């Protein structure tokens, strides 16, 4: 293997690992070169697959809300509390886990996180009381909190420098899982009852096995680089500017997640109430929205690598506003079309927001993953709980009218710094950045 290209003196461990992957990918076309490339790509696909499994378990919770509402006689505020319990459990733990694993990575923590979610599924399947549903939701939240920081870090390390693509592939697994969860609920859980949720434990067991192998890959990678000196933490901007930019990015994700949470938690009720569709049809409509969101995630990362993360964030905000504002007043056919467009455009920014934040704070991948997969999602959960109370008081239609204005807060993107200029000053330009 030829020596790595000359780099700036200060470099984080994260960049050292990524540069190693990129250097391997740049060697001549030999068997070892092909193997190294295949290994990195297979790792990204493996964590993406497990992200899919993880988020199927998560999406089953919201997908079976109509069933739980009937079985337990729940009010909308109790539905909101279930979402709150799941997302806030993940929110409180993810940033803490991310900061800890930045200092001391724990590759084999991933299968234990998946096991927590598996237990949560079993509890949901056989819960005899509402408080057991809350325990099951919290266990799924704990599993999500453990899973996201380390798996996001591993996807970045295996990226070979194509951070947007790697982040999109990782995230699209989760979005695909969220999309097919309602379909699985519609055609398995609804016909066969609440206890059929336990059948999904098979997928969780497969995920545990895959994550154990991924943990082994990551451990071997770290061992092979054990003699490399980890350099200091260097940001391209002053601390005050970095904190301001992170606050803006967090608010962007919060508003996007609040809007998505309103659809994920209440879209089925909205469709049933406004258009008098069946429960199964409402699940299909939710699948269309979540499927479009998955496609937006998949396309957003590569476009961000090409045109710049900030440009894609702007596209998401400007592009989605007309559709969110029109949705509360649309008929049945246009409601399905608009939700597909909203999911596609709104989700295209998320991987770019994460990559932008990781560039702002190099070497803090776990913390960034914890903030954006944890805190912002948890705040989305709080929003879902508040919206449940509003729905009980004012009705579902009013909730969707209020939420249609949430993307307006995305105009705060104007305060984000110019990453392209910062890289030029550092002497490490990257094409397509804005």
> In this predicted structure, what is the pLDDT of residue 420?
65
Domain that holds residue 175: 40-222
Q: How far is it, in rounded angstroms, from Cα 400 to Cα 261?
A: 11
- For residue 25, being part of any structural domain is answered with no
Averaged over successive runs of 10 residues, the pLDDT of the chain (434 residues) comes to 44 44 41 47 90 86 82 86 81 81 83 92 90 92 87 83 82 79 82 88 92 90 67 68 88 82 83 88 85 84 86 88 93 94 90 86 78 68 79 88 88 83 53 35
Does residue 50 contact residue 102 with C-beta atoms inside 8 Å? no
Q: Is residue 47 domain-shared with residue 67, that is, in the same domain? A: yes
> In this predicted structure, what is the pLDDT of residue 32?
40
Q: How far is it, in rounded angstroms, from Cα 187 to Cα 226?
A: 49
- For residue 137, being part of any structural domain is answered with yes
Retrieve residue 215's tokens: 């943990």
Retrieve residue 111's tokens: 């299968």
Last residue of a domain, one of 222, 257, 288: 222
Q: Is residue 239 domain-shared with residue 218, that is, in the same domain? A: no
Q: Is residue 213 domain-shared with residue 339, that is, in the same domain? A: no
Please report, for residues 74, 90, 114, 136, 228, the alpha-carbon distance to residue 127 in angstroms, rounded to integers and kept in the order given.
14, 21, 20, 8, 50
Last residue of a domain, one of 185, 200, 222: 222
Q: Is residue 241 domain-shared with residue 303, that is, in the same domain? A: yes
Counted residue by residue, the chain has a size of 434
Q: Is residue 399 domain-shared with residue 259, that is, in the same domain? A: yes
Q: Is residue 114 domain-shared with residue 243, that is, in the same domain? A: no
Q: How far is it, in rounded angstroms, from Cα 276 to Cα 294?
A: 27
Q: How far is it, in rounded angstroms, from Cα 370 to Cα 145?
A: 8
Q: Is residue 169 domain-shared with residue 245, that is, in the same domain? A: no
Does residue 365 contact residue 152 with C-beta atoms inside 8 Å? yes
Last residue of a domain, one of 222, 256, 279: 222
- For residue 300, being part of any structural domain is answered with yes
Q: Please, what's the b/e burial string for 74-97 (b: 16 or more CB within 10 A of its CB; e: otherwise)?
A: bebbbbbbbbbbbbbbbbbbbbeb
- For residue 75, being part of any structural domain is answered with yes
Chain centroid, CA 341 distance in Å: 19
Q: Is residue 368 domain-shared with residue 303, that is, in the same domain? A: yes
Q: Is residue 355 domain-shared with residue 262, that is, in the same domain? A: yes
Residue with tokens 């579902």: 396
- For residue 434, being part of any structural domain is answered with no
Q: Is residue 105 domain-shared with residue 252, that is, in the same domain? A: no
Q: Enumerate helices (H) and strands (E) in the chain, giving the number of each.
A: 18, 0
Retrieve residue 273's tokens: 């109430």
- For residue 1, being part of any structural domain is answered with no
Q: How far is it, in rounded angstroms, from Cα 420 to Cα 235?
A: 14
Q: How far is it, in rounded angstroms, from Cα 18 to Cα 37?
A: 12
* Whole-structure pTM value: 0.67
Tally of structural domains, the chain = 2
- For residue 12, being part of any structural domain is answered with no
Q: Is residue 388 domain-shared with residue 298, that is, in the same domain? A: yes
Does residue 408 contact residue 282 with C-beta atoms inside 8 Å? no
Q: Is residue 147 domain-shared with residue 187, that is, in the same domain? A: yes
Q: What is the CATH number of the domain that holds 127?
A: 1.20.1250.20
- For residue 27, being part of any structural domain is answered with no
Pick from 192, 190, 347: nearest CA to 282:
190
């Amino acid at each position: 293997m030829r020596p790595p290209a000359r780099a700036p003196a200060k470099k984080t461990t994260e960049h050292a690992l990524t540069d190693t992957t990129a250097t391997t990918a740049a060697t001549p076309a030999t068997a070892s070169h092909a193997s190294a490339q295949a290994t990195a790509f297979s790792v990204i696909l493996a964590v993406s697959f497990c992200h899919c499994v993880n988020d199927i378990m998560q999406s089953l919770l919201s997908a079976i809300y109509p069933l739980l509402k009937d079985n337990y006689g729940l009010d909308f505020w109790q539905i909101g509390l279930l979402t709150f319990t799941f997302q806030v459990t993940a929110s409180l733990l993810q940033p803490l886990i991310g900061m800890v694993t930045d200092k001391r990575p724990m590759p084999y923590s991933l299968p234990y996180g998946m096991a927590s979610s598996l237990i949560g599924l079993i509890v949901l399947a056989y819960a005899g009381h509402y408080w057991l549903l809350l325990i099951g939701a919290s266990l799924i939240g704990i599993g999500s909190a453990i899973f996201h920081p380390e798996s996001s870090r591993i996807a970045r390390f295996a990226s070979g420098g194509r951070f947007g693509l790697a982040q999109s592939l990782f995230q699209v697994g989760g979005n695909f899982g969220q999309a097919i969860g309602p379909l699985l609920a519609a055609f398995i859980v609804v016909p066969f009852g609440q206890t059929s949720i336990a059948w999904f434990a098979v997928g969780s067991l497969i995920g545990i096995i895959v994550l154990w192998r991924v943990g082994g890959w990551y451990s071997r990678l770290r061992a092979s680089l054990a003699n490399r000196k980890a350099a200091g933490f260097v940001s391209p901007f002053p601390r005050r500017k970095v904190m301001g930019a992170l606050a803006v990015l967090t608010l962007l994700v919060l508003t996007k997640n609040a809007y998505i949470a309103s659809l994920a938690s209440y879209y089925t009720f909205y469709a049933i109430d406004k258009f008098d569709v069946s429960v199964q049809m409402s699940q299909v409509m939710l699948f269309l929205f979540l499927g479009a969101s998955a496609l937006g995630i998949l396309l957003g990362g590569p476009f961000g690598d090409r045109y710049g993360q900030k440009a894609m964030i702007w596209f998401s905000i400007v592009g989605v506003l007309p559709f969110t504002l029109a949705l509360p007043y649309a008929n049945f056919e246009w409601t399905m079309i608009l939700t597909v467009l909203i999911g596609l455009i709104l989700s295209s920014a998320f991987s770019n927001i994460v990559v932008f934040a990781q560039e702002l704070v190099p070497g803090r991948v776990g913390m960034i993953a914890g903030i954006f997969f944890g805190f912002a999602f948890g705040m989305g959960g709080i929003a879902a709980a508040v919206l449940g109370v509003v729905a009980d008081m004012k009705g579902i239609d009013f909730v969707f009218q209020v939420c249609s204005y949430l993307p307006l807060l995305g105009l705060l993107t104007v305060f984000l710094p110019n990453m392209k200029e910062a890289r030029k000053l550092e002497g490490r330009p990257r094409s397509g950045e804005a």
